[in-house]
Amino acid sequence: MVKRINAANGALEVAEISLGCMRIADLSPQEADVHIHSALEAGIDFFDHADIYAAGKAEEVFGDVLAASPGMRDQLMIQTKCGIRNGFFDFSKEHIVNSVENSLKRLKTDYVDVLLLHRPDTLMEPEEVAEAFDQLESRGLVKHFGVSNQNPLQIELLKKNVKQPLLFNQLQLSVMVTGMIDSGINVNMTNSGSVVHDGGILEYSRLHDMTIQPWSPFQYGFFEGVFLGNEKFPELNEVINRLAAEKGVADTAIAIAWLLRHPAKMQPIVGTTNTKRLLDIAKASDITLSRQEWYEIYRAAGNVLP
């Protein structure tokens, strides 16, 4: 059973693994129903959406499952995102409010538990975002708020006007995408790993009780492919496979356990539509890698410790 973690310094309790629903539109209604119910049975009761996933179809498929299962809504948490449009980003008050209203219709629910702003909009006016959040909260349409792919100063700019706590930040992170970790290890150095690309978002998140939600936790590069079972990464897969065999789990569970081991208490978003694979991943919650094992995986991914 997937464990639970405290977000916002204990203000909110969530499953430490979330099911990303970007590809759920590829499933038949029956397959989607089985997949969602299987996730719940495994303790994964946090579901991540976005208004752009499958042009809204992903939310519709999920909403159909909800509608067919009276009482299910109270057993789970729904997160959705908005702000990405066709060729531009839009954090205007009008778009944020309209996006949420449309998501609720597709999801067939009266509210979402969490709303994230999806990718930074450099034309953002914090005052507009604050007005949108206030309206959505007062109308009972959104319970909690957060961001996605934002750095510390962008978050601070939002906080200038937004009064609601920003609880989550969804960021790309995996064994093979570790920029936010690398810069904190290669301090006072001039190698490539020492470059701070994101303003120290890892440390900022811990200081401000923001839960990082790693997306694409099995990918390397920017959607270049998966690293598990990939012949490009023989040393990494040898280490992961050995640890998986020792602990009696799948390689996917080790990759997620590596993220869960970090004291930042992250909440990885896994987007598989294969129910068996999802249940294999869920076993990561039962594993606590040792410090030595964590660093062994990190080094096997090609990182050199100073």
CATH number for the domain spanning 121: value is 3.20.20.100
Instruction: Evaluate whether residue 202 is within a structural domain.
Output: yes
Instruction: Evaluate whether residue 82 is within a structural domain.
Output: yes
Instruction: Evaluate whether residue 258 is within a structural domain.
Output: no
Catalytic choice (53, 204, 220, 298): 53
Distance between CA atoms of residues 122 and 203, nearest Å: 23
How many domains is the chain built from? 1
Instruction: Encode the chain (306 residues) as per-residue pLDDT tens digits.
Output: 999 999 877 778 999 999 999 999 999 999 999 999 999 999 999 999 999 999 999 999 999 999 999 899 999 999 999 999 999 999 999 999 999 999 999 999 999 999 999 999 999 999 999 999 999 999 999 999 999 999 999 999 999 999 999 999 999 999 999 999 999 999 999 999 999 999 999 999 999 999 999 999 999 998 889 999 999 999 999 999 999 999 999 999 999 999 999 999 999 999 999 999 999 999 999 999 999 999 999 999 999 999
Closest CA to 143 of 116, 125, 107, 106: 116
Q: What is the pLDDT of residue 290?
A: 98
Instruction: Evaluate whether residue 181 is within a structural domain.
Output: yes
The structure tokens listed for 160 are 């200038």
* Range(s) of the domain holding residue 177: 4-230+264-276
Instruction: Evaluate whether residue 65 is within a structural domain.
Output: yes
The mean of the pLDDT values for the chain is: 97
Annotated active-site residue 111? The verdict is no
Instruction: Evaluate whether residue 288 is within a structural domain.
Output: no
Instruction: Evaluate whether residue 284 is within a structural domain.
Output: no
Instruction: Evaluate whether residue 211 is within a structural domain.
Output: yes
